[in-house]
């Protein structure tokens, strides 16, 4: 299978300019001296997550409309980009999606259909076929992966001596793109995916050497709603086998604690999915090399009541 190239990611850097924010690397003075932590705050994007990068790179002006399936952040990103291009959007969302994300997608102008989690893909495919619209999937798409890879391009440009990159994993699009860019531009770095223990299908898949899908009901248990995809795709699995050095799994308690640390000590609002990389740094440092470490804060679209409970 042909993997996304650094050339595709470099083209995406140009394509997303003016839509996605080039986020900085924020130092964390409270971190270990031998493992200086830098935060990549994708929660500061206009839609509150990194998903805007892949969405902008994948949506082509002039299409009659687009369809996607999403638990929130990808749908919001697709709707935001499409609305700026004057393109109608239909989003199929699991009925377990937090209301704050459903409301944001509706407010952005999208038509939102909620279905049981196990029906999201087949329903999206049916809507797309009926309307004649292309599907912009959350991760299983070369242009989406290349767009997410611009994060890795920025990390390598701003911190060429980076030693460890911590990246959340769900469907694998973010880790595929970031890993591809880091491998090409900062080959000395160790690239570690991070998953919740309750949705660790990627870790199991890499151990088994094949894709292992988890039951939808199992991955729904994690607080990290953005990481509840039950399986990698063939495309993302091929990337992760090539670019990742390993996967760290974190507990629900560690995720909650990391959200609190990010809010109190770095003044960053992170949703649970956005806090998993920081949780890996805080509680699993012995599993990674020393040196400059980057944790990607992938999103900040969190339910206010949940944020209050962890802060």
The percent of residues in the chain predicted with pLDDT above 70, rounded, is 100
pLDDT in tens, 254-272: 999 999 999 999 999 999 9
The pLDDT mean for the chain works out to: 95
**Residue 100 predicted with pLDDT over 90:** no
Domain hosting 87: range is 60-131
Last residue of a domain, one of 131, 152, 172: 131
SS3 33: helix
Instruction: Say yes or no: 285 and 225 in one domain.
Output: yes
Instruction: Say yes or no: 68 and 197 in one domain.
Output: no
Instruction: Say yes or no: 174 and 270 in one domain.
Output: yes
Residue 7: other Cβ atoms inside 10 A: 10
SS3 255: helix
Query: Residue 274: which pLDDT band, with cuts at 50, 70 and 90?
Result: very high
In a domain, 55, yes or no: no
H/E element, 140: none
Interval 110-131 mean pLDDT? 93
The model's pTM is: 0.94
pLDDT in tens, 11-64: 999 999 999 999 999 999 988 878 899 999 999 999 999 999 999 999 988 899
Active site residue 298: yes
Last residue of a domain, one of 82, 98, 131: 131
Instruction: Say yes or no: 122 and 225 in one domain.
Output: no
Joined tokens for residue 146: 């290349």
The DSSP result for 84-132, as a single string, is HTT--EEEEEETTS-HHHHHHHHHTT-EEEEE-GGGHHHHHHHHHHHHT
In a domain, 51, yes or no: no
In a domain, 50, yes or no: no
Joined tokens for residue 103: 């409301």
Q: How far apart are CA 147 and CA 68, in angstroms?
A: 16
In a domain, 274, yes or no: yes
The predicted structure's pLDDT at residue 98:
83
The predicted structure's pLDDT at residue 105:
87
Active site residue 51: yes
pLDDT in tens, 219-243: 999 999 999 988 999 999 999 999 9
Number of domains in the chain: 2
In a domain, 11, yes or no: yes
Residue 188: other Cβ atoms inside 10 A: 11
Instruction: Say yes or no: 32 and 89 in one domain.
Output: no
Instruction: Say yes or no: 153 and 118 in one domain.
Output: no
Instruction: Say yes or no: 105 and 216 in one domain.
Output: no
SS3 4: coil
**Residues with Cβ within 8 Å of residue 245, at least 6 apart in sequence:** 190, 191, 192
pLDDT in tens, 143-188: 999 999 999 999 999 999 999 999 999 999 999 999 999 999 999 9
The predicted structure's pLDDT at residue 71:
80
Identify the CATH number of the domain in which residue 106 sits.
3.40.50.1100
**Residue 276 predicted with pLDDT over 90:** yes
The DSSP result for 232-244, as a single string, is --HHHHHHHHHH-
Query: Residue 283: which pLDDT band, with cuts at 50, 70 and 90?
Result: very high
Q: Which of 40, 49, 51, 170 is catalytic?
A: 51
Q: How far apart are CA 121 and CA 135, in angstroms?
A: 10
Tell me, what DSSP letter sits at residue 61? Answer: T
């Amino acid at each position: 299978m042909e993997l996304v190239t650094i050339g595709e990611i470099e083209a995406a850097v140009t394509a997303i300019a003016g839509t996605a924010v080039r986020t900085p690397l924020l130092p964390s003075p409270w971190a270990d001296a031998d493992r200086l932590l830098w935060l990549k705050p994708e929660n500061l994007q206009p839609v509150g997550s990194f998903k805007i990068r892949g969405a902008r790179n994948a949506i082509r002006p002039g299409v009659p409309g687009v369809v996607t399936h999403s638990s929130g952040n990808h749908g919001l990103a697709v709707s935001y980009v499409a609305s700026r291009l004057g393109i109608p959007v239909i989003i199929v969302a699991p009925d377990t999606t937090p209301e704050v994300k459903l409301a944001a997608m509706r407010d952005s102008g999208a038509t939102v259909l909620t279905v049981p989690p196990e029906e999201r893909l087949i329903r999206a495919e049916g809507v797309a076929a009926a309307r004649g619209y292309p599907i912009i999937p959350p991760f299983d798409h070369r242009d989406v992966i290349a767009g997410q890879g611009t994060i890795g391009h920025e990390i390598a440009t701003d911190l060429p001596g980076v030693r460890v990159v911590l990246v959340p994993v769900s469907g694998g699009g973010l880790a595929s793109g970031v890993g591809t860019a880091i491998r090409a531009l900062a080959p000395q770095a160790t690239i570690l995916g991070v998953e919740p223990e309750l949705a660790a299908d990627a870790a199991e898949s890499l151990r088994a050497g094949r894709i292992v899908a988890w039951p939808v009901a199992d991955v729904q248990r994690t607080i990290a709603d953005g990481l509840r995809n039950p399986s990698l795709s063939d495309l993302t699995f091929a990337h992760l086998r090539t670019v990742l050095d390993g996967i760290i799994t974190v507990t629900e308690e560690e995720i909650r604690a990391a959200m609190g640390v990010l809010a109190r000590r770095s003044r960053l609002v992170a949703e649970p999915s956005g806090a998993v990389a920081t949780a890996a740094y805080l509680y699993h440092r012995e599993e990674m090399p020393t040196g400059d470490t980057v944790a990607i804060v992938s999103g900040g679209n969190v339910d206010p009541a949940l944020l209050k409970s962890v802060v």
